[in-house]
Amino acid sequence: MVERLIPEWIAPTRTALLVIDMQVDFADPDGAAGSAGHDLSAIPLALANAARLAESARAVGVSVIFIRLETRAEDDSPAWIERARRRGDEPEKALALCRTGTRGAELVIAPDSASDLVITKRRYSAFVDTLLDSVLNDGGIDTLVICGLTTECCVDSTVRDAFHRDYHVFLAGDACGSYDSALHDVTLRSLDLNFAIVVRTEDVVAAWTLFINTTHEKPAEATAPSRSAR
């Protein structure tokens, strides 16, 4: 974690905020994780900080992109099904997360329909088989502030893929959540060491606040590229 976040590093003209998988199945006591008995005690703080980041981003023209997982039984990976079996799990239950059309797939933080973008994915990383990379490139974005659920899974996968695609990556650690605090902490340490700069929500908000009432340009609206993606 850096001692001081330089505002220009996350200037509005170059930056997008990615909000990863803040959905009922991962965040709500009645969702899949809660129903399975996972410890959701760290999730409310992550949600509150993510909402704060989104509000601050919109105020200065930072692009806000919600990433959501949606799955269908007919699209489940044979490799994932077999992995579940080998682990002694029931694939029908283990993979039944955020099924399309179910409440479990719903976002628990409401996007702003006038400004935010929502991108649907089928895998852990927000970059796999989606339009995300093209949207960011078309918008002139080279810097990402990332938050979401869960720290060690979809957030971790997205951070690594972003770094490998040459984005400057800032991870708002206190706006991420896990069901295991030790796993959350060690993931942040690993990502900070190799793939991202871990920052606090309050420091990101303070940096963006400096751009209020100053001249800035919002990145141009991205047009959907022609390549096939979900």
Q: Which residues are catalytic?
A: 21, 121, 154
CA distance 128 to 135: 13
Cα–chain-centroid distance for residue 139? 18
Please count the other Cβ atoms lying within 10 Å of the Cβ belonging to residue 89. Answer: 13
Q: What's 107's DSSP letter?
A: B
CA distance 206 to 137: 26
CA distance 206 to 201: 9
Give one word for 48, left, alpha or beta, with left for phi > 0 and alpha for psi -120 to 50. alpha
Q: Which two tokens stand for residue 44?
A: 């409310």
Cα–chain-centroid distance for residue 8? 22
